């Protein structure tokens, strides 16, 4: 049996990162088992439908390297209004993979369930249903359909009048969900609602569509979020009614924030697009998500795993039963590790768009500028947790800086006069120095420290603030060398003017 798994997003906005973690599990399992990973768009909830989210979802998957083997084809995507359909359409033998294109099929199955005595037509008015609900609430009864139309004589509700089709859930007995992660979860049938399967507008509900599609698309393992488990007994009843094989269920626990509450916007980024824009590397986020609720071994200390290694070691049966905690600081740490592991050329290519988005570098990046940027990369590589950190860290390379305040310029143990003296002498030696290579600059400035009998951090501190405007910067000598003689001397002079005024006052 070939393993076939799916990701079945509803296009109602950007997928939540917790959902994407579940996609990572699906993908890893498919790749490990030599199976197929299928993308299906569940767009039957027309009130929440946002077609723009389809390409966003696909772009997010692609960015993370979660390629799908079957999914909406070119024409399906075009009909869904996806502009760049050529980029994403793959198709496959079990399509269409967009649910709104499968309405006929859902109706057919719903009718089959009616014929087999497993479903029935219901023409209760919304007002009646609302009355029933109100009464149930008032009496503190479970809120569910009162089965009013369940035992009407055949033909009492005509197929031609507006009606819904409901599942005829047995009134006794139990339905058991065998779940890979949770074990057996038992539901009393008496507590299961006679779920609407087909709505009066001809659209299926999620429950009908998901069962039909998972069957038609030969899905073998349903790996999805925890909160779908109460729906699963309804699905199992349908599989049984239709005589279809029941797939293996695997309900994955939620992702929580560090306060133990479901991960939400107030915790930080929650969509793939946000993580990308905040400067996370896809390979780092992928590694991080794979370890969110799963670990390759008991007490395993290693946390950095390449894609191939994760595929090899992934084990669906070892997914945690407890909810996973999303630690942004751990992700930052991991991202930093990945950034440090990049080649300088690779990092340069990833930083250029970040600088461009910040308006520091023109698009396209001119060649001579690229050469300068290439020299900046080794200075910042060790210091970045996110790619976007580079903006703050390097802004002073691209634009003029405001002369820093005297307070910022003065270093511990130096007054304004002494700080001014440092700057004057630094300007002198840097005017004299033969060339502005990192080595030469370092040589003369270290000489200056010695000559003045001060500490490294005092002398270098004043010069750093004067030339970068910041207390923390990339390594000083490399920075000065890239800034170049002219700009360095001008910035020193501007800072001298600031200190000159305050040393007199």
The option from Zn ion, ligand GLU, none interacting with 70 (CB < 5 to 8 A, set by class) reads none
Q: By C-beta, is 10 or 205 nearer to ligand GLU?
A: 10
Residue 342 gets the label, from left (phi > 0), alpha (psi -120 to 50) or beta, of beta
Q: By C-beta, is 69 or 400 nearer to ligand GLU?
A: 69
Q: How far is the CB of 95 from Zn ion (least distance, A)?
A: 34
Question: Is-catalytic flag, 265?
Answer: yes
Q: By C-beta, is 42 or 179 nearer to ligand GLU?
A: 42
Residue 114 lies near Zn ion (rule: CB under 5 A) = no
Binding part of the chain for Zn ion, among 86-94, 115-123, 317-325, 435-443 by CB under 5 A, reads 115-123
Q: How far is the CB of 42 from ligand GLU (least distance, A)?
A: 4
The option from Zn ion, ligand GLU, none interacting with 9 (CB < 5 to 8 A, set by class) reads ligand GLU
β-sheet bridge partners, residue 325: 256
The option from ligand GLU, Zn ion, none interacting with 122 (CB < 5 to 8 A, set by class) reads Zn ion
Interatomic CA distance for residues 251 and 223, integer angstroms: 6
Interatomic CA distance for residues 40 and 23, integer angstroms: 12
Q: By C-beta, is 28 or 416 nearer to ligand GLU?
A: 28
Q: How far is the CB of 86 from Zn ion (least distance, A)?
A: 47
Residue 147 lies near Zn ion (rule: CB under 5 A) = no
Output the CA angle 145-147-150, nearest 5 degrees. 140
Q: Are 10 and 48 in contact (CB under 8 A)?
A: yes
Among 323, 321, 322, which Cα is nearest to 263's?
A: 323
Q: How far is the CB of 223 from ligand GLU (least distance, A)?
A: 8
Q: How far is the CB of 186 from Zn ion (least distance, A)?
A: 28
Q: How far is the CB of 324 from ligand GLU (least distance, A)?
A: 17
The option from ligand GLU, Zn ion, none interacting with 42 (CB < 5 to 8 A, set by class) reads ligand GLU
Q: By C-beta, is 165 or 430 nearer to Zn ion?
A: 165
Interatomic CA distance for residues 136 and 129, integer angstroms: 11
Long-range CB contacts for residues 367-374, cutoff 8 Å, separation at least 24 = 372/397, 372/482, 373/348, 374/344, 374/345, 374/348
Residue 225: which H helix or E strand, with range?
strand 221-225
Residue 109: which H helix or E strand, with range?
helix 103-115
Q: How far is the CB of 151 from Zn ion (least distance, A)?
A: 11
The option from Zn ion, ligand GLU, none interacting with 148 (CB < 5 to 8 A, set by class) reads Zn ion
Q: From the candidates 182, 265, 330, 471, give the one annotated as an active-site residue.
A: 265
CA distances from 450 to 194, 414, 458 (A): 86, 16, 12
Radius of gyration of the chain (CA): 32
Residue 148 lies near Zn ion (rule: CB under 5 A) = yes
Binding residues (CB under 6 A) for ligand GLU: these are 8-10, 42, 210, 224, 228
Interatomic CA distance for residues 71 and 408, integer angstroms: 58
The option from ligand GLU, Zn ion, none interacting with 224 (CB < 5 to 8 A, set by class) reads ligand GLU
- 331: tokens are 């992700």
The option from Zn ion, ligand GLU, none interacting with 169 (CB < 5 to 8 A, set by class) reads none
Among 212, 101, 207, 213, which Cα is nearest to 164's?
A: 207
Residue 149 lies near Zn ion (rule: CB under 5 A) = yes
Output the CA angle 487-488-491, nearest 5 degrees. 85
Residue 136: which H helix or E strand, with range?
helix 126-138
Of 121-140, binders to Zn ion (CB under 5 A) are 122, 124
Q: Which residues bind to Zn ion, rule: CB under 5 A?
A: 122, 124, 148-149
Active site residues: 265
């Amino acid at each position: 049996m070939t393993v076939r798994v799916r990701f079945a997003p509803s296009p109602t906005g950007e997928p939540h990162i917790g959902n994407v973690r579940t996609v990572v599990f699906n993908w890893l399992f498919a790749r490990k088992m030599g199976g197929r990973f299928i993308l299906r768009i569940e767009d039957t909830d027309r009130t929440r439908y946002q077609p723009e989210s389809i390409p966003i979802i696909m772009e997010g998957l692609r960015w993370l390297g979660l390629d799908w083997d079957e999914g909406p084809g070119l024409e399906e995507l075009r009909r869904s209004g996806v502009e760049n359909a050529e980029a994403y359409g793959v198709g496959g033998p079990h399509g269409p993979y967009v649910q709104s294109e499968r309405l006929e099929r859902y109706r057919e199955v719903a009718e089959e369930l009616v014929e087999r005595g497993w479903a029935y037509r219901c023409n209760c008015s919304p007002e009646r249903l609302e009355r029933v609900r109100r009464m149930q609430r008032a009496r503190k009864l479970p809120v569910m359909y009162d089965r009013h139309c369940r035992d009407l004589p055949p033909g009492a509700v005509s197929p031609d009048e507006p009606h819904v089709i409901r599942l005829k859930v047995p009134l006794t007995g139990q339905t058991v969900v065998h779940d890979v992660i949770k074990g057996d979860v038992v539901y009393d049938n008496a507590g299961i609602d006679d779920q609407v399967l087909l709505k009066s507008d001809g659209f299926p509900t999620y429950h009908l569509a998901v069962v039909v599609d998972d069957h038609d698309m030969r899905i073998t393992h349903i790996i999805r979020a925890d909160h779908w488990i109460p729906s699963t007994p309804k699905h199992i009843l349908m599989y049984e009614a239709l005589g279809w094989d029941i797939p293996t269920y695997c309900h994955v626990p939620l992702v929580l924030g560090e306060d133990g509450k479901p991960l939400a916007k107030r915790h930080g980024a929650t969509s793939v697009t946000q993580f990308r824009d905040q400067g996370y590397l896809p390979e780092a986020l992928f590694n991080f998500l794979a370890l969110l609720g799963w670990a390759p071994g008991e007490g395993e200390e290693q946390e950095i795993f390449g894609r191939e290694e994760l595929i090899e070691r992934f084990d669906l049966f070892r997914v945690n039963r407890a909810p996973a905690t999303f630690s942004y600081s751990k992700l930052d740490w991991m991202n930093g590790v990945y950034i440090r592991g990049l080649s300088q050329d690779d990092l340069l290519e990833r930083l250029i768009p970040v600088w461009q988005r910040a308006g520091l570098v023109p698009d396209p990046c001119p060649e001579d500028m690229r050469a300068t940027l290439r020299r900046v990369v080794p200075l910042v590589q060790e210091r970045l947790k996110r790619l976007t950190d580079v903006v703050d860290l390097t802004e002073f390379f691209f634009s003029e800086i405001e002369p820093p305040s005297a307070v910022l310029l003065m270093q511990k143990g130096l007054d304004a006069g002494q700080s001014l003296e440092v700057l004057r002498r630094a300007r002198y030696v840097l005017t004299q120095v033969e060339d502005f290579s990192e080595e030469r600059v370092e040589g003369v400035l270290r000489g200056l420290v010695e000559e003045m009998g001060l500490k490294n951090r005092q002398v270098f501190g004043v010069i750093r603030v004067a030339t970068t405007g910041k207390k923390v910067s990339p390594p000083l000598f490399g920075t000065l060398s890239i800034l170049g003689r002219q700009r360095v001397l001008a910035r020193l002079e501007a800072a001298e003017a600031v200190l000159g005024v305050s040393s007199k006052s």
